[in-house]
Amino acid sequence: MNNISVGSWITLNNTSVAEIMADAGFDWLCIDIEHSSIDYSEVQNLIMAIQGKGLKAFVRVGENNLRIIKRVLDAGADGIIIPSINSVNMAINAIQYIKYPPIGKRGVGLSRAQSYGFDFDNYYNIKAKNIKIIVQIEHIDAINDLDKILQLDGIDGTFIGPYDLSGSLGVPGEFDNVLVKSALEKYEKITKNYDKLIGYHVVQPNYELVIDKINKGYNFIAFGFDAIFLGTIIRNQLNKIKK
């Protein structure tokens, strides 16, 4: 997969912020409900704002949970990013939570995604089958099970979580540690054998870090997030004034 897709993270419950970021030129935006205070009704409003600008709206859920995933999907999410998928069995569960029967066990609801019941057949037969499933690889157990995870038909890609990965190795935040480097190298080597999305979150708003990840083969890159873009430009300009 040669196409490079660059998106960003939404952590603030503000539809205007989501629209501003959508207009900036990202390929997609992901609403984070794992590490933010954004709630379900707010998720739907943010999805509407993002999709209204012609972008795909992903949601990073809080856990691999049928109820959480079902509600986010019924709000109209185009893709789900699921944290802490540490085994092939957890990945299989994720697929089943997202897919309708007979493949999965997603319950039928008539909400925004299905046009409140007036377009269910189209959603079931087309839209639901194109929902992207991205699993986060954040533990050494996941690295060791990575080939099996990527062989699953329902998995569209993975997203590496370096900090939690380092924690699972007993060296949290020590990215230069040989154990962490070895695990990341294994992740990159294995993922390149599959025609699937290879994800990384470049948190700092520095484009050179994105280019570095592209050169390493990543093709599904989250660049910064709303709060850090806002805070960085404020601090940068204020510091220049004060000097």
How far apart are the C-alpha atoms of 115 and 83, rounded to whole Å?
Answer: 28
For residue 124, the surrounding DSSP H or E stretch is none
Phi-psi category of residue 203: left, alpha or beta, with phi > 0 → left and psi -120 to 50 → alpha: alpha
The active-site residue, picked from 23, 24, 35, 206, is 35
User: Token digits for 241?
Assistant: 């004034």
User: Token digits for 44?
Assistant: 């739907």
- Catalytic (active site) residue 139: no
Inter-residue contact 70 to 80 (CB < 8 Å): no
Residues 6+ away with beta carbon under 8 Å from 115: 123
**CA 12 remoteness from chain centre:** 16
Of 25, 28, 24, 38, the residue nearest 156 (C-alpha): 28
For residue 96, the surrounding DSSP H or E stretch is helix 88-98
User: Annotated active-site positions, please?
Assistant: 35
